[in-house]
């Protein structure tokens, strides 16, 4: 708790209302957007797609954090009259996720102003959050651990020490601040998952069910990513004033599908801290993830 108070920040400090996005350079690295190798696009067009992907990335966090807010406020409620320290930590977690949603929403607005066109974005986040919340608490906590550690992996592996790309410092700073708080969240996800498991009448069966549901949640995320990808291509065509041929569209779609799946699914499943946390819950669960991994990335 003390540590989470120390790293906490305000939205205005990280993204002032008068902040300016530098559209002359990449915003997210190519490792997370996969636009650099698309041959049917010129360099300037690849850059446009990098920007569209960045805006979608911010939106997808806003989107995915919707279920986290619901989950963590439920978990906090369970601590009422029992553990005030844990309850405070979970309420703080909930509050921070709402703050992250507001931060990313502000970024999307700022982006639309600077980009001169409002990109098409998915709007069914409440529906998706409700669908996620039909799963068991253990499954959602493991899925959330994946998401939190994936976020950290993005920052640490591709942004923090990236000396090869001159990225827009504004978004790098946003992701740095997001990462600082997500580090605290991942600890809490793990503690909550341990608690649920220790209270289960049959831990092995609960874990087996949770891993099946985790797989279903990944499939649902994939569907969401593809739906956003379709919108990204529409936005790209609109902003370039160009209609892609079937072959061009396929090249862009395939490259972007690979990139989306790797960024949001592969990088989470492969994050060393995610695997080690799941291993300490159960080596059988970690093995399920390792067996599943080739479905999502080679």
> In angstroms, rounded to a whole number, what is the distance separating the alpha carbons of residues 250 and 272?
33
Nearer to Fe ion, 182 or 213 (CB): 182
Nearer to Fe ion, 125 or 185 (CB): 185
Nearer to Fe ion, 30 or 148 (CB): 148
Nearer to Fe ion, 35 or 137 (CB): 137
We find the least distance from the C-beta atom of residue 100 to Fe ion, in angstroms, to be 4
We find the least distance from the C-beta atom of residue 163 to Fe ion, in angstroms, to be 26
Contact 50, 21 (CB under 8 A): no
Residues 121-160, buried b or exposed e (16+ Cβ, 10 A)?
bbeebeebbeebeebbbbbbbbbbbbbbbbbbbbbeebbe
Query: How many other CB atoms sit within 10 Å of the CB of residue 234?
Result: 13
Sites of contact with Fe ion (CB under 5 A): 100, 148, 182, 185
We find the least distance from the C-beta atom of residue 187 to Fe ion, in angstroms, to be 11
Q: Alpha-carbon dihedral of residues 280, 31, 35, 240, nearest 10 degrees? A: 90
We find the least distance from the C-beta atom of residue 294 to Fe ion, in angstroms, to be 28
We find the least distance from the C-beta atom of residue 180 to Fe ion, in angstroms, to be 10
Phi, psi at 255, each rounded to 5°: -65, -40
Nearer to Fe ion, 206 or 218 (CB): 218
Residue 240's closest CA among 121, 123, 119?
119
């Amino acid at each position: 708790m003390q540590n989470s108070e120390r790293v906490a920040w305000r939205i205005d400090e990280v993204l002032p209302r008068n902040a300016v996005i530098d559209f002359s350079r990449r915003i997210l690295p190519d490792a997370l957007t996969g636009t650099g190798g698309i041959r049917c696009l010129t360099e300037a067009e690849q850059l446009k797609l990098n920007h569209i992907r960045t805006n979608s990335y911010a939106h997808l966090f806003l989107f995915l954090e919707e279920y986290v807010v619901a989950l963590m406020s439920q978990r906090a409620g369970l601590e009422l009259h029992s553990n005030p320290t844990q309850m405070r930590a979970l309420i703080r977690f909930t509050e921070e996720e709402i703050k992250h949603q507001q931060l990313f929403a502000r970024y999307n607005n700022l982006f639309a102003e600077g980009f001169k066109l409002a990109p098409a974005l998915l709007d069914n986040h409440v529906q998706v959050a409700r669908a996620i919340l039909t799963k068991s608490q253990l499954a959602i906590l493991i899925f959330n651990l994946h998401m939190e550690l994936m976020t950290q992996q993005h920052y640490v592996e591709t942004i923090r020490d990236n000396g090869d790309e001159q990225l827009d410092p504004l978004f790098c700073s946003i992701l740095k601040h997001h990462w600082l708080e997500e580090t605290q969240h991942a600890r809490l996800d793990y503690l909550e998952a341990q608690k649920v498991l220790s209270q289960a009448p049959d831990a092995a069966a609960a874990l087996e069910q949770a891993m099946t549901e985790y797989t279903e949640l990944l499939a649902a995320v994939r569907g969401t990513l593809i739906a956003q990808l379709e919108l990204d291509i529409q936005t790209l065509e609109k902003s370039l004033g160009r209609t892609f041929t079937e072959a061009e569209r396929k090249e862009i779609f395939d490259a972007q599908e690979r990139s989306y799946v790797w960024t949001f699914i592969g990088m989470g499943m492969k994050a060393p801290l995610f695997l080690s946390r799941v291993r300490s819950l159960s080596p059988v669960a970690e093995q399920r993830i390792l067996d599943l991994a080739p479905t999502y990335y080679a």
